[in-house]
Amino acid sequence: MLIKPIKKGLITDSYSFPQLFINERVIVFRKSGYAALIKKMREDYGEGFKAVQYHIGFNYGYDAFKNIKEKYGSDIDELLKIGAEYSRIVGFGIIEVVSYSNNRAALRVYNNFECELFIGSNKPQSHFMRGILAGWFAGLWDLDIKKIDVKETNCISMGDPYCEFIITRI
């Protein structure tokens, strides 16, 4: 089916609503929209808001993992691939699994949407995405939030080519 432009140089997909991934609705935010949710809230509410972002991310990642596992089974390699594809599709970033064991994982996230907002920083800036990864692996390893640690060791906000996360059981 041919989609007609709204005006010269502007075309949108007027047929694919709602956008779905694994039969669930997904939404898309423009950068200015998620910047208001992430960067502006940090400015307005201070350092404590980073903890809120982490906890929201944790619940998001945990629920996403449980949902995907319920639908697609418990093959770890497949779950990691589906999780990485989900991150790419919704625009969080492109995930590369560097290593994985039952106690530790190392992941690289290229074009991390959260950290792109803080280019020029002198420290890692991922709290929401770090929470998502903590929740995902807590689901995979059947842990609660106090039994998992995620450290961001590299960050695009500091000029690194990717954000790298080390996830470990505590």
Residue 23 domain-assigned (yes or no): no
What are the pLDDT digits (tens) for 138-168?
Answer: 999 999 889 999 999 999 999 999 999 999 9
Asked if residue 117 lies in contact with residue 129, where contact means CB atoms within 8 angstroms, the answer is: no
Residue 20 domain-assigned (yes or no): no
> What total number of domains does the chain contain?
1
Residue 152 domain-assigned (yes or no): yes
What is the pLDDT, as a whole number, of residue 17?
85
Rounded Cα distance between 132 and 138, Å, is 10
Q: Which of 6-20, 79-93, 109-123 has the lowest mean pLDDT?
A: 6-20
The CATH number of the domain holding residue 45 is 3.30.1380.20
